[in-house]
Structure 1
Amino acid sequence: MLNFFTAAGALLAINLLSLAIAGRRIWPRLGPQPAARRRPPVSVVIPLCGREEFSRETLESAFRLDWPDYEVIFCVADARDAVIPLVDDVRRRHPAIPATLLVGDDPISANPKLNNCVKGWNAASHEWVVLADSNVLMPADYLARLMAAWRPDSGLVCSTPLGSRPQGFWAEVECAFLNAHQARWQYAGEALGFGCAQGKSMLWRKSMLDANGGIQALGSQIAEDAAATKLVRGLGLKVHLVSSPFDQPLGSRTFREVWARQCRWARLRRVTFPQFFSPEILLGVVPPLVLSVIAAIGAGHSVAAAAAFVAGATYLPELALAHRKNWHLSRWSLIAMVTRDLLLPVIWVRGWLARSTDWRGNRMWIGAHESQLETGAPGLANLS
């Protein structure tokens, strides 16, 4: 039974260590951020597909950046897309910011978001290019944070999505997945030298990527962020993260939406980085809880006390991290974290077994050596 207690303690210690590393690495969301040492011209490329709940707000945010010289390039695959009139309206409201809307599709890969970005990348007129998802809410210092994170050994700077403004319980669960779980582990990994790209916001040097296959090189994997990670590491460079992640307002979410998204991401991680996906089964409260309960039963100790200790050691530090960093917290947050952790093992198993997933009414087939997207409608923007 001692071995079970030891294993449970080790998992809890690793969880606590990751929280401590992330807590030290991530700056508070509402506090001052590092200043950019240089402020060169930047091209911001934003792929779009359809209108969403916060589309107007996120589009408007791209025109309110505190940066001396930047352009915004919107990419839409389908000329009939309902988001086009909104883009035109927002552009008219901000004539001082150079903005372009490009329509058309370049099917260079099985990744619809990447295909949508090709024309924007080719049209970008500056050396520094940001590929940003349409649902990122850009703060005024968006470009400053990205540029400030660039180091001499950087090949890419990016940001994880930070869930905010959830409406309903399943949006709270989405926050629990995105914030103190996925963002925490990604920042902890980056701090230990294992930085991985996240496709939400990616800052590139155009000449560097163009010299190594161009944007087409990001089609070597079904997910462009996985391809970006492998490309950057292959060049002997690193992926770095911004000081504090950028908000993604969630609004309402259903169980089906949260489930589909997390299963899709799990399958993509399984295919692109199986060596990192395999130990994910050890994350969350379930593994140390099961081990502690088995040990308590075998040793004749109180099962309730063991379970309470594990729950407290798991969730109190996570809640403290979210509070210190000014991330979303509500009366539902703890229950949402527990729900997330109960789903994690099921999602992990599905990541190994499922070969397809639904995405915006389309069936994605994702295999270890090939990928395919059966589209029911043109103009797909991203896999987020």
Structure 2
Amino acid sequence: MNGIEIIASAILGTSGALQIVTSGAAAYAMKAKRKKSIISGTPSVSVLRPVCGLENNIEATLRTTFETTWHGKVELLFCVDREDDPIVPVVRGLISEYPSVEARLLVGRDHVSGNPKLNNLVKGWKEAKHEFVLMADSNVLLPADYIERLFARWDDETGLVTSPPVGVDATNMWGSLECGFLNTYQGRWQLSSDTFENGYAQGKMLFWRKDILDAAGGPEALGAEMAEDVASTKVVRAAGKKVRLLNQLMPQPIGERDFKSVWSRQVRWAKVRRMGFPAVFCAEILAGVGLPMLMTLILTLTGLLSWWWLLAVPALWFGTEYAVASLAGWPRSLRDVASWVIRDAMLPLIWVSAWRGNSFEWRGNAMDASEVTAKARG
């Protein structure tokens, strides 16, 4: 083989191996018997949910917060920036509907970082009176036993339990594309990483023992990075602990999306990963089927591989993802499979776009890495 053929073969083999290993590891993570939890009794829990505006299925997702089966003490703290936010009547209505549940709406923002969600959450952390604190985004559906599931993952090495979202209930193609990024791509990789004892946080759900984050400086310490999940991972690892994932990830109703919003969200998250863990992000270029297909084409043109490999590679690629989605019960219709193909065609473009600049817009808020760093140091 000449030099080009050696390089193409190495890239194809490495990418294919990663696809198979991460799919298998994700499947294992969902079914494996975990280390026994060290939690006994029914510890008290404070649940913080930042709210802002009227999102898709917002009343349904927030309602699930109240319907927990946990027998210990639970307080619910909903955090909003402004009294005139349209979500305020929805939250107050739910609080009135569940008078037996200890719940409050906290209004105001503490400017402790360049991260608007974190600024919204700080007041809730200050008010939280229990040993364990769950930060859960408003657009995640919480099953009735969500607290039991979180404690089940808390062993003697745990510093944080987290769950990336599983996209469900997409109503158009671009919603399915959003699910494709969340589920068989990001969710698969995160579950796989957890299997190899290298779990990392996802900001949708952060379940802390309060003293661990307080020892690092409290929620203000999470403002040291562009995203609180990157900072959370670093805080936990610095404490000599591990981030654990739930076996069954929490669902997020997606509804309708448009291509522009999916693209901008994925570029934003890619920039966050690139700035937070640059070495790992460099390897993401191997994650989709695009580069392996290019290498396969090169090897077929040189005669090293037969033409049927151009069908075998994508069949292997998306077949493993379909198997993971089937095992997990994630969306896997023909439209979903088509969205995986579109997603992988986008991945190299997203990867390149992530290297352009250190700023982005999130919910109308301009965020810049230099400003975030300066705020954290100040």
| Pair in the same fold by TM > 0.5 | yes
Match for 2:202 among 182, 194, 198? 198
Correspondence for 1:381: none
On the 8 A contact 2:12/2:296 being kept in 1, the answer is yes
Report deviation, 1:348: 0.5
On the 8 A contact 1:158/1:197 being kept in 2, the answer is yes
On the 8 A contact 1:268/1:366 being kept in 2, the answer is no
Report deviation, 1:367: 4.8
Q: Distance in 1 between matches of 2:235 and 2:159?
A: 9
Correspondence for 1:139: 143
Matched, 1:346 2:349: yes
Report deviation, 1:6: 4.3
Match for 1:56 among 55, 59, 66? 59
Correspondence for 2:289: 285
On the 8 A contact 1:57/1:137 being kept in 2, the answer is yes
Q: Distance in 1 between matches of 2:40 and 2:257?
A: 39
Correspondence for 2:108: 104
Task: Identify if the C-alpha distance between structure 1 residues 301 and 213 changes in structure 2 by more than 3 Å, giving closer, same or farther.
Answer: closer
Report deviation, 1:26: 1.4
Q: Distance in 2 between matches of 1:108 and 1:366?
A: 15
Amino acid at match of 1:233: R
Report deviation, 1:108: 0.3
Correspondence for 1:126: 130
- Tell me whether 1-10 or 345-354 shows the greater mean CA deviation: 1-10
Task: Identify if the C-alpha distance between structure 1 residues 273 and 25 changes in structure 2 by more than 3 Å, giving closer, same or farther.
Answer: same
- Tell me whether 43-52 or 327-336 shows the greater mean CA deviation: 327-336
- Tell me whether 81-90 or 6-15 shows the greater mean CA deviation: 6-15
Report deviation, 1:196: 0.7
Identical aligned residues as a percent? 41
Aligned-residue CA RMSD (Å): 1.8
Correspondence for 2:238: 234
Correspondence for 1:313: 316
Amino acid at match of 1:151: D
Correspondence for 1:77: 81
> 1:118-172 deviations in whole A, cap 9, x for unaligned?
1100111100100110001000111111111111011111101110000100010
Amino acid at match of 2:252: Q
In the alignment, structure 2 segments of 5+ residues that lack a partner are: none
Report deviation, 1:371: 7.3
SS in 2 for 1:299: coil
Correspondence for 1:375: none
- Tell me whether 197-206 or 208-217 shows the greater mean CA deviation: 208-217
Q: Distance in 1 between matches of 2:305 and 2:222?
A: 54
> 1:180-229 deviations in whole A, cap 9, x for unaligned?
11011011111112211111111111122212211111111121111111
Report deviation, 1:59: 0.9
Alignment of 1:22-41 (within 5 A): 22-27=26-31, 37-41=40-44
Match for 1:66 among 69, 93, 99? 69
Aligned residues: 366
Report deviation, 1:275: 1.2
Report deviation, 1:368: 9.8
Correspondence for 2:360: 357
Alignment of 1:364-375 (within 5 A): 364-367=367-370, 370=373
Correspondence for 1:17: 21
Q: Distance in 2 between matches of 1:63 and 1:280?
A: 39
> 1:268-289 deviations in whole A, cap 9, x for unaligned?
1111110111100111101111
Q: Distance in 1 between matches of 2:236 and 2:304?
A: 52
Correspondence for 2:49: 46
Q: Distance in 1 between matches of 2:158 and 2:13?
A: 36
On the 8 A contact 1:158/1:240 being kept in 2, the answer is yes
Report deviation, 1:365: 2.5
Match for 1:335 among 323, 333, 338? 338
Amino acid at match of 1:58: T
Correspondence for 1:214: 218
Q: TM-score, normalised by structure 2?
A: 0.93
Alignment of 1:235-250 (within 5 A): 235-250=239-254
Q: Distance in 2 between matches of 1:288 and 1:155?
A: 37
SS in 1 for 2:68: coil
Alignment of 1:148-159 (within 5 A): 148-159=152-163
